[in-house]
Structure 1
């Protein structure tokens, strides 16, 4: 949780007054400390980086227009989240049904209005937020949140991820504390069955940097050597492999092995390790003879357990530049 009291206390009163008087540079300086966490919140709400971009931009526009009415003795963080929440709910209300990619729909449920998930670059979070937000930005959590109604998502995230009180959330949603508590109970009931248990899933932090680096090295080397036996040996028995937006996925070592041999491993590959959604990820590059270079193919986000790789989600339309990955690799 990020307590904004220390942030607001550090804002010079003259700067705040200038912002409320219409100084756009002063306003930018005042709201800048909150932009990273606001964007992560909108991403969790919407499942889309691009929609989160739009939501944050609109939030800041609306905050700027109303900033002369902000009460300095109040919570700026809560005020900004109120605006951001309203914008996210408007976006969700305006959406038609959009399916989740491949096997992630298993987590999010097939009978709800859910959006295409997109990978999230950790660079959007500041160092402090990366530590606080680690589990709540992982793909399995974000996918599971998409099962909830818009207001249930907001209540769950505002209360349990961001640490607002029930009274603060009630004020943000123009409702009662009783309604907030009821929505939180319903959200927990829907969400809990869809999430892996602590004993099923080991985060990178639990494994340790050395173990993760070793796994990343071995996995990349196996792909680059077309060593299907090593790749498959690193998977858990019930591992899953999907490639959004392609509506196809594979479950279990044999199915994944057959798929890899039928196509992917007939090509040349280079893998560049990175992180996305606070998980181990790889920018994958496939040999392109027309360009005589390895060209971007997908951003593979891995879910790790202590006994191996539990899931690979290969985002075929990921923005490599946004994840700090080069546009191509030489031979």
Structure 2
């Protein structure tokens, strides 16, 4: 039977991409892994005699591609796992030149619902920042086994076949991975938190958060944070916690009046996210600065992960550290475009 490979690839491309993102923690690495997967699949498609087995066959290839990639490099992390929180009064500092950071993932690229009846995680739960970060701490085989079983809903037998191992080994790997992940993720997922909060309360929280930043009101901003909140800014290793330390940092560096901010609301990793634009005199407009992914708890913001996308200066050059352009991850420049965001906002935005 002849397989329409183009149709097959397009039918599964999005879910394969999300799978590779969970495995690798990087949108760009997932791009490369999916491309490699589809090239290998195209070369071997004549051996696919049962169309019903196509999905498992593609996942086998994609998983092996990711496992091979993981032998070549370290797992990606968030700043919380890279270094301790900054001491009080520490300036933001320079970026880490090495590409080590987990990247944000657009909700628009994730199919809704569960992948199968045996899946333990909703697909959006399985790309939440805390979950993806926890996955990166697992051994690659454990990571693959957990994702195949609990996210994608493959049976233990199917997972064993995909990983060329035994059912007993899969069950053992999943049990260990489950326990390890549970230690690193909150008791309640962001999906459950958002459902409990409700759309109206979420909208009000976001509006207050945006208003505080656009007015450079430190007290209003920090009033929206839980007491043990954190604020991280990859590719910088520096991150701040708890709330009173964040307030000092914001007052000195980001909400000191030297910056003019505008925002656009998006969704990333199953969580609300704000695209921050900073005023640029030369451009006479607002240019992309950072994508802030918000983690919520108890009706407030518990963690902010601000993925910085460019180097810039405020009106007062001494008010903030200028990031060395050569140390930035050049691929971050396309982050806003990935989320369908404009590359500039007009002066009257």
State the TM bucket, normalised to the shorter chain.
0.7 to 0.9
Query: Paired residue for 2:329?
Result: none
Give the SS at the match of 1:239.
strand
Q: Distance in 1 between matches of 2:52 and 2:124?
A: 28
Query: Paired residue for 1:278?
Result: 270
Residue 101 (structure 1) aligned with residue 78 (structure 2): yes
Q: Is the 8 A contact 1:285 1:294 kept in 2?
A: yes
Residue 312 (structure 1) aligned with residue 289 (structure 2): no
Query: Paired residue for 1:236?
Result: 226
Q: Distance in 1 between matches of 2:339 and 2:190?
A: 28
Query: Paired residue for 1:299?
Result: 291
Query: Paired residue for 1:87?
Result: 65
Q: Which runs of 4+ in 1 moved over 4 A?
A: 104-107, 127-131, 199-202
> Matches of residues 1-331 of structure 1 in structure 2 within 5 Å?
17-19=1-3, 26-72=4-50, 74-95=52-73, 97=74, 100-105=77-82, 115-128=100-113, 132-198=122-188, 203-265=193-255, 266=257, 267-317=259-309, 318=332, 319-331=335-347
Q: Distance in 2 between matches of 1:31 and 1:46?
A: 20
Q: C-alpha displacement at 1:141, in angstroms?
A: 0.3
Post-superposition CA distance 1:124-173 (Å, at most 9, x none): 12345799311111000000110001100000000011110010011001
Post-superposition CA distance 1:97-116 (Å, at most 9, x none): 36623125489xxxxxx952
State the TM-score, normalizing by the size of structure 1. Answer: 0.86
CA RMSD, Structure 1 to Structure 2 (Å): 2.2
Q: C-alpha displacement at 1:252, in angstroms?
A: 1.2
Shift of the 162–98 alpha-carbon distance from structure 1 to 2, 3 Å rule, reads: closer
Q: Distance in 2 between matches of 1:298 and 1:194?
A: 25
More displaced, 207-216 or 309-318? Answer: 207-216
Q: Report the number of matched residues.
A: 302
Q: Is the 8 A contact 2:288 2:343 kept in 1?
A: yes
Q: C-alpha displacement at 1:201, in angstroms?
A: 8.6
Give the SS at the match of 1:103.
helix
State the TM-score, normalizing by the size of structure 2. Answer: 0.82
Shift of the 229–119 alpha-carbon distance from structure 1 to 2, 3 Å rule, reads: same
Q: Which has the higher contact order (CA 8 A, sep 6+)?
A: 2
Give the SS at the match of 2:79.
coil
Shift of the 311–133 alpha-carbon distance from structure 1 to 2, 3 Å rule, reads: same
Unpaired stretches in structure 1, ≥5 consecutive residues: 1-16, 20-25, 108-113
Give the SS at the match of 2:181.
helix
**By percentage of residues, which structure has more helix?**
1
Unpaired stretches in structure 2, ≥5 consecutive residues: 85-98, 116-120, 310-331
